[in-house]
Amino acid sequence: MSQVRVVTLAVGLLVAALVGVLATRQAGPDRANMHLVGQVAPPIVGTTVDGEVWSLDDQRGRFVVVNFFSTTCVPCIREHPELLVFADSHAEADDVRIVSVAFDDDALAVEAFFKDNGGNWPVLAEDTGQTAVDWGVVAVPESYLVSPSGHVAAKVVGGVEVEDLESLLAGAKRSTR
Protein backbone atom coordinates (compact mmCIF):
# COMPACT_ATOMS: atom_id res chain seq x y z
CA MET A 1 0.00 0.00 0.00
CA SER A 2 1.34 3.43 -0.84
CA GLN A 3 2.02 5.95 1.85
CA VAL A 4 -0.73 8.22 0.47
CA ARG A 5 -3.30 5.45 0.79
CA VAL A 6 -2.22 4.72 4.38
CA VAL A 7 -2.51 8.39 5.33
CA THR A 8 -5.87 8.68 3.54
CA LEU A 9 -7.17 5.58 5.32
CA ALA A 10 -5.94 6.85 8.71
CA VAL A 11 -7.54 10.27 8.17
CA GLY A 12 -10.77 8.59 7.02
CA LEU A 13 -10.88 6.41 10.14
CA LEU A 14 -10.17 9.43 12.35
CA VAL A 15 -12.97 11.43 10.71
CA ALA A 16 -15.37 8.49 11.04
CA ALA A 17 -14.51 8.15 14.74
CA LEU A 18 -14.98 11.89 15.30
CA VAL A 19 -18.36 11.84 13.55
CA GLY A 20 -19.38 8.87 15.69
CA VAL A 21 -18.41 10.63 18.90
CA LEU A 22 -20.15 13.87 17.94
CA ALA A 23 -23.28 12.04 16.79
CA THR A 24 -23.65 10.07 20.02
CA ARG A 25 -22.51 12.52 22.68
CA GLN A 26 -24.88 14.34 24.95
CA ALA A 27 -25.01 18.01 23.96
CA GLY A 28 -26.99 21.20 24.20
CA PRO A 29 -29.71 21.76 26.78
CA ASP A 30 -29.86 18.10 27.80
CA ARG A 31 -26.19 18.14 28.72
CA ALA A 32 -26.66 21.40 30.62
CA ASN A 33 -29.58 19.86 32.50
CA MET A 34 -27.47 16.90 33.57
CA HIS A 35 -24.59 18.93 35.03
CA LEU A 36 -24.04 17.76 38.62
CA VAL A 37 -27.05 15.38 38.60
CA GLY A 38 -26.06 12.26 40.51
CA GLN A 39 -22.99 13.90 42.00
CA VAL A 40 -22.39 15.18 45.52
CA ALA A 41 -23.66 18.75 45.68
CA PRO A 42 -20.94 21.40 45.91
CA PRO A 43 -20.82 23.11 49.28
CA ILE A 44 -22.88 26.17 50.01
CA VAL A 45 -22.02 28.15 53.12
CA GLY A 46 -22.87 31.76 53.73
CA THR A 47 -24.64 34.37 55.77
CA THR A 48 -28.30 34.92 55.01
CA VAL A 49 -29.89 38.34 54.58
CA ASP A 50 -31.17 37.79 58.15
CA GLY A 51 -27.60 37.47 59.43
CA GLU A 52 -27.75 33.72 60.08
CA VAL A 53 -25.02 31.32 58.98
CA TRP A 54 -26.43 28.73 56.56
CA SER A 55 -24.78 25.58 55.24
CA LEU A 56 -26.07 22.99 52.81
CA ASP A 57 -24.25 20.30 54.82
CA ASP A 58 -26.46 21.14 57.81
CA GLN A 59 -29.49 20.15 55.73
CA ARG A 60 -28.48 16.50 55.30
CA GLY A 61 -31.45 14.23 55.93
CA ARG A 62 -33.93 16.37 53.99
CA PHE A 63 -34.45 17.53 50.43
CA VAL A 64 -33.31 21.04 49.51
CA VAL A 65 -34.19 23.16 46.51
CA VAL A 66 -31.21 25.40 45.71
CA ASN A 67 -32.51 28.31 43.64
CA PHE A 68 -30.08 30.67 41.90
CA PHE A 69 -31.84 33.94 41.02
CA SER A 70 -31.50 37.67 40.49
CA THR A 71 -33.90 40.45 41.41
CA THR A 72 -33.53 41.92 37.91
CA CYS A 73 -34.27 38.65 36.09
CA VAL A 74 -37.84 38.56 34.70
CA PRO A 75 -38.14 34.72 34.77
CA CYS A 76 -36.83 34.81 38.37
CA ILE A 77 -39.52 37.30 39.34
CA ARG A 78 -42.16 35.15 37.61
CA GLU A 79 -41.04 31.96 39.37
CA HIS A 80 -41.03 33.50 42.85
CA PRO A 81 -44.77 32.97 43.51
CA GLU A 82 -44.31 29.33 42.46
CA LEU A 83 -41.56 28.93 45.05
CA LEU A 84 -43.81 30.53 47.66
CA VAL A 85 -46.61 28.04 46.96
CA PHE A 86 -44.16 25.12 46.95
CA ALA A 87 -42.57 26.19 50.25
CA ASP A 88 -45.96 26.73 51.84
CA SER A 89 -47.24 23.33 50.74
CA HIS A 90 -44.26 21.61 52.37
CA ALA A 91 -44.01 23.74 55.53
CA GLU A 92 -46.02 21.43 57.76
CA ALA A 93 -44.31 18.21 56.62
CA ASP A 94 -40.90 19.93 56.62
CA ASP A 95 -39.77 17.41 54.00
CA VAL A 96 -38.05 19.90 51.73
CA ARG A 97 -36.40 23.26 52.24
CA ILE A 98 -35.54 26.06 49.86
CA VAL A 99 -32.45 28.24 49.81
CA SER A 100 -32.08 31.11 47.37
CA VAL A 101 -28.64 32.17 46.20
CA ALA A 102 -28.36 35.59 44.60
CA PHE A 103 -26.53 35.65 41.29
CA ASP A 104 -24.64 38.84 40.51
CA ASP A 105 -27.05 40.98 42.53
CA ASP A 106 -26.94 43.67 45.19
CA ALA A 107 -27.54 42.39 48.74
CA LEU A 108 -29.81 45.32 49.61
CA ALA A 109 -31.90 44.73 46.48
CA VAL A 110 -32.20 41.05 47.38
CA GLU A 111 -33.29 41.86 50.92
CA ALA A 112 -35.88 44.35 49.63
CA PHE A 113 -37.15 41.85 47.05
CA PHE A 114 -37.89 39.23 49.70
CA LYS A 115 -39.40 41.81 52.04
CA ASP A 116 -41.74 42.98 49.27
CA ASN A 117 -42.52 39.58 47.72
CA GLY A 118 -42.36 37.14 50.63
CA GLY A 119 -40.37 33.99 51.16
CA ASN A 120 -39.30 32.90 54.62
CA TRP A 121 -36.50 30.59 53.53
CA PRO A 122 -32.77 31.33 53.80
CA VAL A 123 -31.45 33.77 51.19
CA LEU A 124 -27.74 34.17 50.52
CA ALA A 125 -26.93 37.50 48.88
CA GLU A 126 -23.29 38.32 49.60
CA ASP A 127 -20.13 36.63 48.33
CA THR A 128 -22.08 34.14 46.25
CA GLY A 129 -19.99 34.35 43.08
CA GLN A 130 -17.81 31.34 43.90
CA THR A 131 -20.88 29.32 44.82
CA ALA A 132 -22.38 30.02 41.40
CA VAL A 133 -19.10 29.01 39.75
CA ASP A 134 -18.92 25.80 41.81
CA TRP A 135 -22.45 24.89 40.72
CA GLY A 136 -21.77 25.80 37.08
CA VAL A 137 -24.45 28.48 36.96
CA VAL A 138 -24.19 30.58 33.83
CA ALA A 139 -27.56 32.33 33.82
CA VAL A 140 -30.57 32.49 36.11
CA PRO A 141 -32.97 31.21 37.10
CA GLU A 142 -31.47 27.82 37.71
CA SER A 143 -32.56 25.41 40.44
CA TYR A 144 -31.30 22.12 41.82
CA LEU A 145 -32.98 19.50 43.95
CA VAL A 146 -30.53 18.05 46.47
CA SER A 147 -31.37 14.71 48.08
CA PRO A 148 -31.14 13.95 51.80
CA SER A 149 -27.81 12.23 51.12
CA GLY A 150 -26.41 15.46 49.66
CA HIS A 151 -26.48 14.39 46.01
CA VAL A 152 -27.96 16.49 43.24
CA ALA A 153 -31.17 14.70 42.23
CA ALA A 154 -32.33 17.11 39.52
CA LYS A 155 -31.55 20.37 37.77
CA VAL A 156 -33.99 22.87 36.27
CA VAL A 157 -32.78 25.52 33.84
CA GLY A 158 -35.24 28.40 33.63
CA GLY A 159 -38.12 29.28 35.89
CA VAL A 160 -39.65 26.59 38.05
CA GLU A 161 -43.31 25.80 38.49
CA VAL A 162 -44.94 24.09 41.46
CA GLU A 163 -46.05 21.08 39.40
CA ASP A 164 -42.52 20.54 38.08
CA LEU A 165 -40.97 20.79 41.53
CA GLU A 166 -43.57 18.38 42.94
CA SER A 167 -42.88 15.91 40.14
CA LEU A 168 -39.10 16.12 40.62
CA LEU A 169 -39.49 15.72 44.37
CA ALA A 170 -41.81 12.71 44.01
CA GLY A 171 -39.39 11.05 41.60
CA ALA A 172 -36.44 11.73 43.85
CA LYS A 173 -38.30 10.37 46.87
CA ARG A 174 -39.09 7.15 44.96
CA SER A 175 -35.47 6.70 43.96
CA THR A 176 -34.15 7.22 47.51
CA ARG A 177 -36.33 4.53 49.06
Give the burial string for 30-41 (b: 16+ CB within 10 Å, else e): eeebebbeeeeb
CB 90 within 8 A of CB 170: no
The CATH number that domain 38-175 falls under is: 3.40.30.10
pLDDT, residue 92, reads: 94
Res. 69: pLDDT tops 60: yes
Q: Each residue of 106-144: pLDDT tens digit?
A: 999 999 999 999 999 999 999 999 999 999 998 999 999
pLDDT at 22 over 70: no
Q: How confident is the model at residue 101 (pLDDT cuts 50, 70, 90)?
A: very high
